[in-house]
Amino acid sequence: MDLAVEAAGWAGAVLILLAYLLLSAGKFSGNSLIYQAMNVVGAAGFVVNGWWHGAVPSATLNVLWMMIGLFASVRIFNRRRKPVQ
């Protein structure tokens, strides 16, 4: 179990760092569903790892990070579904 928790934490770190790198390099925009998904999944990895290690502030921060990413994803998805008038 320890190995899975550590893997989740490291995978989360890589995803969030890669998302930010690609955003900064202009490969993604903040309105990209893939960018938001990378942040949500990455934050989930941090939540698992932080909770396991008793790092409640870090886990809480990443729950909020996930909620922001999910909110942004829903807004992006809904904008794409609306027919152009």
| Predicted confidence (pLDDT) per residue in 20-64, tens digit | 999 999 999 999 999 999 999 999 999 999 999 999 999 999 999
pLDDT of 85 > 70? The answer is no
Of the two residues 84 and 10, the one the predictor is more confident about is 10
Query: Euclidean distance between the first and final Cα of the chain, in Å?
Result: 53
For residue 59, what pLDDT is reported? Answer: 96
Could you tell me the pTM of the whole model?
A: 0.89
Rounded alpha-carbon distances, angstroms, from residue 24 to 18, 50, 81 = 10, 26, 27
Mean pLDDT across 54-81: 95
Tell me the C-alpha distance between 63 and 21, whole Å: 22
- Map tokens 């870090």 to a residue: 58
For residue 83, what pLDDT is reported? Answer: 72
Got the DSSP string for 34-61?
A: HHHHHHHHHHHHHHHHHHHTT-HHHHHH
